[in-house]
Structures are given as C-alpha cells and as structure tokens.
Amino acid sequence: MSEKYVVTWDMLQIEARKLAHRLLPKEQWKGIIAVSRGGLVPAALLARELSIRYVDTVCISSYDHDNQREMKILKRAEGDGEGFIVIDDLVDTGSTAKAIRDMYPKAHFVTIFAKPAGQPLVDDYVVDIPQDTWIEQPWDMGVAFVKPIGDC
C-alpha cells in the first residue's frame, strides 16, 4: 500500500452519524451484528445513534496489522441476518464481505469506508478510499509527544 489515510476519533464519529441517518427509521432493525474487530467501534456508534440495544458479533480473522491472510471464522451470530445491520469498518478486496454475504444473505451490510474492489458487496458505505490506500484506524494508533521543529 503506497498511501495512508489516517482516521481520527472525531472523523469516525462524524461518518458513523452520517451512516446512522441513512439507516433510519430504526424500527426496521432487530439489531446489529458487528464484524470483529474492525466493526466493533462502528457498531457501538450506530447502536447509540439508532438506540439499538441488541448487538451481536461475527468474529472473522483476515488481517495481520498490515497484511491480508487466510480467513478464519471464529464465531458467528445465529440466523440469516434478516432485520439486522451487519457493520464492518471497511470493505477492501471483498474477501471478508463475501464471507459475510454467504453467512447473512438477508442482512443489510454496511461499512464506514469502502475501496473500489469491495464497494459492490456492501449495501451502503460513507467514505470512498482508493484501493492502494491503507486506513489507519484510531484504535490502532496512540498519541505520542513530538519535539518542536526548532528543538531538533
């Protein structure tokens, strides 16, 4: 990946609220299924904005910190997804999204971020990201002291 797109907590909350508006009215949803781990924080934000109390998880491992690898399903929510929002932070190449679609064919699958290869696999997303860009999510970063330029 040649470029990086850094997401702050504020940016994430703003984009999640935009997505929540698109998911109204809330009465159409039985609950939310978060794709662990990337979808956990977005799921919490959507659950808050839509006042949804039922949140479950599907646990899929398909990434190291910066490399895709073999996919493993560690835990799945029951059912075919009817009446549920399934959320992940992003859709990239579409491998995780294809697995989600197979598990939950009747779910409404959404992400905050989408790259071109994965866009056709989600029902909605908020932010377009170029395919060759790595997204740095706020939960993967820490705050560090940086010396003033004049002190270097």
Name residues whose C-beta falls within 8 Å of residue 62's C-beta, 6 or more positions apart in sequence.
Answer: 68, 69, 70, 71, 72, 95, 96
Q: Which two tokens stand for residue 144?
A: 């560090």
Please tell me which residue in 10, 66, 80, 88 is annotated as part of the active site.
88
For tokens 């970063």, name the residue. Answer: 141
Residue 92 known to be catalytic: yes
Q: Does 88 appear as a known binding residue?
A: yes
Determine the Cα–Cα distance for residues 100 and 105; give it in Å rounded to an integer.
8
Q: Does 91 appear as a known binding residue?
A: yes
Q: Which of 145, 138, 147 lies closest to 10, judged by CA?
A: 138
Q: Does 69 appear as a known binding residue?
A: yes
Please tell me which residue in 10, 66, 92, 102 is annotated as part of the active site.
92
Cβ contact 118:91 at 8 Å: yes
Q: Does 102 appear as a known binding residue?
A: no
Q: In 10 A of CB 120, how many CB atoms?
A: 10
Please tell me which residue in 10, 56, 89, 123 is annotated as part of the active site.
89
Q: Does 90 appear as a known binding residue?
A: yes
Determine the Cα–Cα distance for residues 102 and 100; give it in Å rounded to an integer.
5
Residue 80 known to be catalytic: no
Residue 64 known to be catalytic: no
Q: Does 134 appear as a known binding residue?
A: yes
Residue positions annotated with a catalytic role? 88-89, 92
Please give the annotated binding residues for Mg(2+), written as ranges: 89
Please give the annotated binding residues for GMP, written as ranges: 69, 92-96, 134-135
Please give the annotated binding residues, written as ranges: 37-38, 69, 88-96, 134-135
Please give the annotated binding residues for xanthine, written as ranges: 92, 135
Please give the annotated binding residues for 5-phospho-alpha-D-ribose 1-diphosphate, written as ranges: 37-38, 69, 88-96
